[in-house]
Amino acid sequence: MEFVEENVTSTALGPKEVIIEVQALAINFKDCLTVLGQVDSDIIGSECAGIVRDVGANAENDFKRGDRVVACALDSYRTYLRCCTQSVAKIPAEMSFAEATSFPTAFLTALYSLVHVARLQKGESILIHAAAGGTGQAAVQMASRIGAEVFTTVGSQEKKTLLMERYGLSEHRIFYSRDASFADGVEQATKGCGVDVVLNSVSGLLLEASWECVAPFGRFIGIGREDVDSRGRLTMYPFIKNLTFTGVDLTMVLDMKVELGHQLLTEVMALAQSGEIKPVFPLHLYPITDVERAFRFMQSGKSSGKIVLEINQSHVVPVSVSASRKFEEVLIAESCRL
């Protein structure tokens, strides 16, 4: 993995644009799939945190140079990010840049999926897969805040313990995600009724088992990519129970529904400011010089919480430059992108 040189100031800033000197970047599973060539995209990154270094003419009422901010913006793996102010929010003085990066993608996905799409209500039940991951923990917090009955799956005892200790979840409502045994657990726990909402990130036979877990008039929200990219098929019979199946891709929301993305980011950061939601835990911190090692940790499937790359201007990274120079290592202080 290497960076390439760029010039973010080659054209004048738009009236509602800012330039952010990036201090921290988060790695999401979709980024890992993109790097591995398993997702048909060249876009890496959807969130970062840093310091505002320049502002457009009409952005000065919202931001000023030196502001500490977080951005939920696509293609964010850059040392200097140029983006629209609608993708940016200020962060509290006591919040670290690494902590800030744990909010945008995970909590926007959870808020949009549970509130806007699933319309999860107090007293309803929800099954959250991969609950120890970034989006999973965000969904647990959002569902608990709503007052829903939360069931989860995890892949290890360590992750189960994390959910019990950090979020107070009952051991009897945390199931194993590596096989379809969770479906029996849900059936027993709900006395055969199933759950009102499933937030799904598993694939294949496990997706099918999750689909069977949905109660009448329930909602299935798919945030995984594997079955989508492989053009998988869905068993139709459960629809007789008046079910809804919806796919959610935050990338499309950010790209095509900018106002909605701004609304979601504003709400999430307001909840973070008030302490109603807290950063994903734990944060696995890597210097930008160890970007490949960080991605391999994500690929291993052993991580919980959030993997964050931290940038320091003293860091030296490999950069692909002009054809005459081919390749060299430069200080990260220069403007470049992954």
CATH number for the domain that contains residue 109: 3.40.50.720
Same domain, 23 and 50: yes
* Per-residue model confidence (pLDDT) at position 330: 62
Confidence of residue 323 (pLDDT cuts 50, 70, 90): very low
In a domain, 130, yes or no: yes
Same domain, 7 and 124: no
Q: Is the pLDDT of residue 288 over 70?
A: yes
Work out the average pLDDT over 219-229. 90
Work out the average pLDDT over 196-207. 96
User: Which of 128-132, 142-146, 262-266, 332-336 is predicted least confidently?
Assistant: 332-336
* Per-residue model confidence (pLDDT) at position 328: 61
Q: Of the residues 203, 234, 252, which one is the last residue of a structural domain? A: 252
Q: Is the pLDDT of residue 215 over 70?
A: yes
Q: Is the pLDDT of residue 325 over 80?
A: no
Same domain, 109 and 248: yes
210: domain range? 105-252
Same domain, 94 and 151: no
pTM summary value: 0.92
In a domain, 82, yes or no: yes
In a domain, 16, yes or no: yes
Work out the average pLDDT over 329-334. 65
Same domain, 54 and 125: no
* Per-residue model confidence (pLDDT) at position 324: 45
In a domain, 38, yes or no: yes
Per residue, the 3-state secondary structure of the chain, as one string, reads CCEEECCCCCCCCCCCEEEEEEEEEEECHHHHHHHCCCCCCCCCCCCEEEEEEEECCCCCCCCCCCCEEEECCCCCCECEEEEEHHHEEECCCCCCHHHHCCCHHHHHHHHHHHHHHCCCCCCCEEEECCCCEHHHHHHHHHHHHHCCEEEEEECCHHHHHHHHHHHCCCHHHEEECCCCHHHHHHHHHCCCCCEEEEEECCCCHHHHHHHCCEEEEEEEEECCCHHHHCCCCCCCHHHHHCCEEEECCHHHHHHHCHHHHHHHHHHHHHHHHHCCCCCCCCEEEEEHHHHHHHHHHHHHCCCCEEEEEECCCCCEEEEECCCCCCEEEEECCCCEEC
Same domain, 111 and 97: no
Instruction: Tell me how many domains the chain contains.
Output: 2
Same domain, 85 and 163: no
Same domain, 96 and 151: no
Same domain, 146 and 98: no
Same domain, 73 and 117: no
Same domain, 165 and 113: yes
Domain at 32, CATH number: 3.90.180.10
Same domain, 194 and 132: yes
In a domain, 57, yes or no: yes
Q: For 143-198, how does the pLDDT look when each residue is reduced to its tens digit (9 = 90+)?
A: 999 999 999 999 999 999 999 999 999 999 999 999 999 999 999 999 999 999 99
* Per-residue model confidence (pLDDT) at position 322: 57
